């Protein structure tokens, strides 16, 4: 009977390192905890050796799957440092391989904890481990531990796949493979800023809704869905928010430059015309990376150099006003005091237009006149 879902690491390419210690044991091992409403623990013990990252109630499955799809999983290397024993449910004992503290692993679990917090998986005190055997006979557990420790030496494992299961018995729900878009960018020749800029100029202006349908023109705030970078790489269709997140992703992977993202809008209580950009710093200069603004009669697409961020943001504001006037996004009698600029951080993927604006409104307001 499935009553929960659990996200685990899989160690498919490293199992021989674990099997080296467990296959020579003359014991029947079982990794399934007691107290899980299963009649035969050994029969449902079908998962390979792994470590658990988090578990949720099965009623939250759809919410969890959607949240996990927004997380950027990456390959991890972990160190198994010892063999230990801890208390389990129903007066049982858990024999396990102890995993050394790993900053990347903790960072990943912090993201998982935000989905639906559970104190059992609180990153501050959770003990990552690979279960070897669970038993109520302490002497048996102790005997197995001693057998393993005879030949034990700390070893390294590589985690390259994450899987979500319904349990028990185990039923695979979804697999999450670490992305390697750095290699992909190299493969398609996006190795320099200039090449990436030319690549983006081939994209079309539009948006993707919450159902994955394509639209052209200005987005509907209720239906809009902020694309993950790899989704925009497939769709080649998006608005400035989408393009900026792909730019943030590419610059983070392919350069060491400091980057920032800014958003300007005109508060007119109608449609609030707006635009977002990415800027990067290099050799005491700052650059406005602008693959859009490519209207034939109001062209400002390019990679523009400035001496400082104040100079850049003033030019950003002036050109946005010029572009908005030409395209009748604002009226000629506009109020100059109703243009606002915010510096914002990376948002969550797949949020709608209202949620994106809320994210920006809670970011850093920029008063250009006060900048030096």
Cis peptide leading into residue 169 (ω within 30°):
yes
Which tokens is 127 given?
Answer: 């003990």
Element (H, E) at 304: strand 302-306
pLDDT at 369: 72
| Residue 118 and residue 220 in one domain | no
Q: Which domain holds residue 310?
A: 181-370
What distance in Å separates the CA atoms of residue 126 and residue 140, rounded to the nearest whole number?
Answer: 26
| Residue 327 and residue 308 in one domain | yes
| Residue 195 and residue 93 in one domain | no
Distance of CA 13 to the CA centre of its chain: 24
SS3 of 287, please? strand
> With a cut of 70, which residues of the chain have pLDDT below it?
1-2, 36, 271, 370-372
Cα 145 to Cα 21, 85, 173: the distances in Å are 10, 8, 33
| Residue 205 and residue 164 in one domain | no
Residue 53 belongs to a domain with what CATH number? 3.90.1140.10
String of DSSP letters for 190-201: --SHHHHHHHHT
What is the DSSP code (8-state) at residue 78?
Answer: E
Give the number of other CB atoms < 10 A from CB of residue 53: 21
| Residue 84 and residue 51 in one domain | yes
pLDDT at 212: 86
pLDDT at 269: 72
| Residue 165 and residue 209 in one domain | no
| Residue 229 and residue 202 in one domain | yes
- End position of a domain, from candidates 176, 195, 217: 176
Total number of domains constituting the chain: 2
What distance in Å separates the CA atoms of residue 69 and residue 56, rounded to the nearest whole number?
Answer: 16
pLDDT at 246: 96
What distance in Å separates the CA atoms of residue 315 and residue 240, rounded to the nearest whole number?
Answer: 18
First to last CA, the chain: 64
Contact 260, 289 (CB under 8 A): no
Residues in the chain: 372
HSE-CB of 151 using CA atoms within 13 angstroms? 12
Cis peptide leading into residue 193 (ω within 30°):
no
| Residue 161 and residue 187 in one domain | no
**At 93, phi and psi to the nearest 5?**
-130, 140
| Residue 254 and residue 336 in one domain | yes
pLDDT at 304: 97
- End position of a domain, from candidates 176, 201, 235: 176
| Residue 137 and residue 192 in one domain | no
| Residue 141 and residue 185 in one domain | no
| Residue 116 and residue 245 in one domain | no
pLDDT at 291: 95
- End position of a domain, from candidates 148, 176, 204: 176
Contact 9, 48 (CB under 8 A): no
Instruction: For 154-210, write each residue's pLDDT tens digit.
Output: 999 988 889 999 998 899 999 998 777 888 899 999 999 999 999 999 999 999 998
């Amino acid at each position: 009977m499935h009553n929960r879902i659990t996200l685990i690491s899989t160690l498919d390419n490293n199992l021989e390192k674990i099997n080296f210690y467990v296959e020579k044991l003359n014991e029947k091992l079982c990794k399934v905890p007691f107290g899980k409403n299963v009649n035969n623990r050994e029969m449902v013990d079908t998962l390979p050796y792994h470590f658990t990252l988090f578990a949720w109630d099965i009623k939250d499955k759809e919410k969890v799957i959607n949240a996990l799809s927004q997380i950027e999983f990456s390959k991890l290397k972990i160190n198994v440092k010892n063999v230990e024993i801890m208390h389990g449910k129903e007066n049982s004992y858990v024999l396990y391989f102890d995993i050394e503290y790993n900053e990347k692993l903790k960072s990943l679990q912090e993201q998982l904890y935000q989905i639906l917090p559970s104190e059992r998986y609180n990153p501050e005190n959770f003990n990552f481990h690979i279960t070897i055997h669970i038993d109520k006979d302490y002497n048996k557990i102790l005997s197995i531990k001693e057998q393993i420790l005879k030949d034990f030496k700390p070893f390294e494992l590589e985690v390259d796949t994450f899987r979500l299961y319904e349990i028990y018995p185990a039923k695979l729900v979804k697999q999450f493979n670490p992305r390697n878009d750095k290699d992909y960018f190299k493969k398609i020749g996006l190795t320099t800023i200039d090449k990436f800029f030319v690549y983006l100029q081939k994209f079309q202006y539009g948006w993707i809704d919450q159902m994955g349908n394509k639209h052209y023109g200005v987005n509907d705030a209720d239906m809009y869905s902020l694309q993950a970078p790899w989704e925009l790489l497939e769709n080649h269709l998006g608005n400035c928010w989408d393009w900026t997140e792909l730019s943030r992703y590419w610059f983070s992977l392919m350069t060491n430059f400091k980057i920032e993202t800014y958003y300007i809008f005109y508060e007119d209580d109608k449609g609030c015309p707006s635009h977002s950009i990415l800027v990067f710093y290099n050799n005491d200069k700052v650059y406005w990376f602008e693959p859009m603004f490519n209207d034939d009669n109001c062209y400002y697409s390019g990679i523009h150099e400035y001496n400082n961020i104040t100079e850049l943001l003033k030019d950003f504001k002036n050109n946005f006003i010029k572009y908005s006037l030409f395209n009748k996004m604002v009226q000629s009698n506009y109020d100059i005091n109703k243009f606002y600029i915010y510096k914002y951080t990376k948002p969550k993927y797949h949020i709608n237009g209202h949620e994106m604006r809320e994210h920006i409104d809670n970011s850093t307001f920029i008063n250009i006149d006060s900048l030096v």
